[in-house]
Amino acid sequence: MKLLNLNIMAGALCLASLSAGAAVPLPALNVDTANITVSGLSSGGVMAINLGYAYSATFRGVGIFAATPYLCQYHYTYESCQNKNVITTAMLDTMQTTINSWSGGAIDSKANIASQKVYLFTGTKDNTVGVNPMLAVQEQYYNNGVPSVNLIQAANTGHVFPTDFTSVGNNPCSTSFTPYISNCGYDGAKAVLTQFYGALQPRNNAPAAANDHEFNQREFTGNLGMADTGWVYVPATCAAYAKCKLHVALHGCTQNYATIGDKFVKNTGYTRWADTNNMIVLFPQARADLNSYSTVASGMQSNLNACWDTVGLYGANYAQQSGVQLSAIKAMVDRLSSASH
């Protein structure tokens, strides 16, 4: 998996279930707006970081599996920000200068970052991102006032989303290959959600398929890098308008529905925990875009692997609130939260 394929190659609601294949409008639900969080793997991890900085007043927790610091690809080539490369203090200082200048304008006040709950995970056998870039992510959060940022460095683990159960098509933990979801004997979904919400009720290992809903993403964006539809998991209690937490789970490159089907939605474990903990899980979807674009720091690039835009394919504002993909996901969050009381 690459963070971006850069010409190189990862109840009460009237909703249709994922298996039915009929996209419906994203519903308005009763979301606890003090408990909105986000996480992601690889390019989804970078997007989680971007959302957490750009909309720090909204996202109270950010979980990052194998990603790179905020604005690294804004100032430097994507290759220099990953591939186990050391990201120097001078590079972080350059990124921080931009964060400071955008704070309270292009992005929410950076003062909000200090109160976020942050979860970091990387595998020691991850050659796509690696430990060094994640150490820089950790340092960047310290630089922005987060008092405690623990980085899990999992031995014999590749560039994968870790679980503690086996699913069809998954690979050994040390193997970085599609679908990039592996039984590593470590429940990544539980770990990140516990970091945000504290002790959880026991998971349901067979969440109802009827709670998976395909929704129309075109209500929120016409962006060529986002799919026509996304998915949302809504437990029955949340569908009946109980107040529920909201978590946004962002797939990595080649983990979109068009490439691996429902594996990221169903095999990462998020919905198993959501089902018993009054938690809605939003799964926005990226898609491949074969066109070439001029990026901010990485020259002309295309996106063959359905990665999220982490280099500015669709504009130099990609990491700001006005960025087309960030603003679309924020609009989805706002829709889901619009019946909150």
The answer as to whether 3 is a domain residue is: no
Domain count, the chain: 1
In a domain, 7, yes or no: no
Predicted local distance difference test score (pLDDT) of residue 140: 99
Q: Is residue 114 part of a domain?
A: yes
Mean pLDDT of 53-77: 99
Confidence (pLDDT) at 209: 95
For 204-259, the pLDDT digits (tens) are 999 999 999 999 999 999 999 999 999 999 999 999 999 999 999 999 999 999 99
Helix (H) or strand (E) holding 135: helix 131-143
pLDDT of amino acid 21: 55
Give the Cα separation of 110 and 334 in Å (integer): 21
Which pLDDT band holds residue 3 (cuts at 50, 70, 90)? low
- Cα 39 to Cα 14, 69, 172, 243, 290, distances in angstroms: 28, 14, 23, 21, 26
Q: What is the pLDDT of residues 125-148, one digit of tens each?
A: 999 999 999 999 999 999 999 999
Residue 213 lies in a domain: yes
pLDDT tier at 312, thresholds 50, 70, 90: very high
Q: Residue 165 sits in which domain range?
A: 18-336
Section 12-36 average pLDDT: 75
Measured CA distances, 264 to 91, 187, 323 (Å): 33, 14, 24
Instruction: Say if residues 248 and 329 touch (Cβ distance below 8 Å).
Output: yes
Is 13 part of a structural domain of the chain?
A: no
- pLDDT over 90 at 20, yes or no: no
Tell me: the pLDDT tens digits for 274-283? 999 999 999 9
135 within 8 A of 106, measured Cβ to Cβ: no
Contacts of 189 (CB under 8 A, 6+ apart): 163, 268, 269, 270, 272, 273
Q: In which band, very low, low, confident or very high, does the pLDDT at 123 lie, cut at 50, 70 and 90?
A: very high
Active site residues: 42, 126, 159
Q: For residue 9, tell me if it sits in a domain.
A: no
Q: Average model confidence (pLDDT) for the chain? A: 95
Give me the pLDDT at residue 1, please.
61
Residue 321 is assigned to a structural domain of this protein: yes
pLDDT for 67 equals 99
Q: How confident is the model at residue 5 (pLDDT cuts 50, 70, 90)?
A: very low
Q: Which amino acid is at 241?
A: Y
Asked if residue 238 is part of any domain, the answer here is yes
